[in-house]
Each structure stands twice: as structure tokens, then as C-alpha cells.
Amino acid sequence: MYENQVPGPRAGGGDGQQAGDRQPEAPRPNGHRAGRGRRPAVSRRALLIGGTAAGLGAAGLAGRERLARMWWQVPGVNRPRTEGEVDHPGAEWIAASGANWRMADRPYDFTVDRVVIHLIQGDYATAVKVFRDPAHRAATHYVVRTSDGHVAQMVRELDVAYHAGNRAYNERSIGIEHEGRVENPGSVTDATYRASAALTAGICDRYGFPRDREHIVGHVEVPGTDHTDPGPHWDWDRYLELVRAVPPVKPEH
């Protein structure tokens, strides 16, 4: 994921404003970003925020972004959450620090249409440790272990994890961290590829976007990033073949 710091991933900047965060795409009126993902109907959250901002006039418009981040504190607008619940079958829930992500209601407030592939530049235990550290200011939704393909989920998919170094991409994507090193092709095992492929296929199906290279990208491909992961040794042809071989799952959203 962050290739120039040892040990573990590099810290971000908090609340989606990581170092180098940019806003390359203008927000649509209902809060969705441009992309080829499915466009859910306008949510109660969007109506609540829009109505409140309109009622407050110019001051409401100025504070709209802050209100958008605080919507979940209004009773009755958030989806029920169960402690320890995971989005990927078989994943282990290990909660990231709340400072490393922000609560959302995706895909009803932001369209999800990308998976971002990261490489840790370190080991699984270090990634889990730093993502649980509130000072780190970054985390991915998932971490995949090299030895056996074990998957830990650290942020719910409906929430925005600070992983891409680009706010628009944070809002539209699911981030998957993989144990391994950019310079060492042997550090990414068959178990890693297979477990990650099953995870990515499920994400694509849940949110209704294609299992292709336009929608499954490396961290290096995120606009404005200074990272190189997953690096030149990541076998994209093999990975996409494995992703496409996973039996399809009907989208829930």
C-alpha cells in the first residue's frame, strides 16, 4: 500500500483529507460521483441534508459538507449496524480505529464502482496494528494474509475508509490491503491471489459493476497518488482470471 515507509503502511490525513487528497470529479446533486456503477435512488439522508441546507440559505450551503458528515447522528436515518458483522463471508472482524474512516451509507450516498488493490510493504500483523491506531489516519476495508489467504475486515463496506489518498476514490471504492512487498514477487502467494479474487468478485457483484481492469485498479492508478503498489510483479492477468472464475452472486443493493 505505502511503499516508502517501514514498517507498515504510511499514515494519511484524516476524514478523507489524506496527504495528496484531491477532488478530481465534481459531485453530482445527490452526492454520487461520476462512474459506471449503478445509480441508487436518492436516499432519505440526501433529502434530509438537501432540505436542511435549503432552509438555512447561504449558511446552509456553506455548511452542507459538514452536515453530510454528521447525518448519521440524526435519529432514524442510519441503517442498523451489528457489532462484528462482516460483508464478506468468512472474514474476521477486526475494527479499525474510528479516526481512520468515516461513517457513510454507501451505496445510497456514494456510488461504489471501484476496488483498489494495495500491497502492505510489510506483514499482516503490522497492517492490522497500524489500522487500529488512531494516529495513523488511514485504513483499508480488508487485509489479506499471505500464509493462508485469511481475510480480516476492518471497515464496513458502507463506510468510507481512508485508503486511496484521494477523497473521491475513497468515497467510491473498497480498499483491499495484501501482505507482501512490491520488490518481491514471491511475497504474494497463490493463497493471497485466490482469497483476494473471491473477495473482489463478491464486491463487484454486490454493487453491480464489471469484473474488469477499469473497475479493479491498483493504488498506483488512483489520480494524484505517489504510490506504486501493488507494483510490477502483481500478476493482473492471473488475478483477473481468478476474479472472473468466481461464480456470480446476485447484487443485494
What are the chain's domains? 92-245 (3.40.80.10)
- pLDDT tens digits in sequence order for the chain, 253 residues long: 433 333 345 444 344 444 333 333 333 323 333 333 344 444 444 444 444 444 445 555 555 555 555 554 544 456 778 889 999 999 999 999 999 999 999 999 999 999 999 999 999 999 999 999 999 999 999 999 999 999 999 999 999 999 999 999 999 999 999 999 999 999 999 999 999 999 999 999 999 999 999 999 999 999 999 999 999 999 999 999 999 999 998 766 5
Return the percent helix, strand and coil in the chain, to nearest 5: 30, 10, 55
Q: Look at strands 173-178 and 114-119 and give their pairing.
A: parallel
pLDDT at residue 78, rounded to an integer:
66
pTM for this entry? 0.75
Name residue, grid cell 436515518.
77
pLDDT at residue 49, rounded to an integer:
45
Phi, psi of 121 (to 5 degrees): 60, 40
Q: Which residues contact 37 (CB under 8 A, 6 or more apart)?
A: 107, 111, 112, 113, 172, 207, 208, 209, 215
pLDDT at residue 59, rounded to an integer:
53
pLDDT at residue 32, rounded to an integer:
33
In angstroms, rounded to a whole number, what is the distance separating the alpha carbons of residues 208 and 202?
A: 10
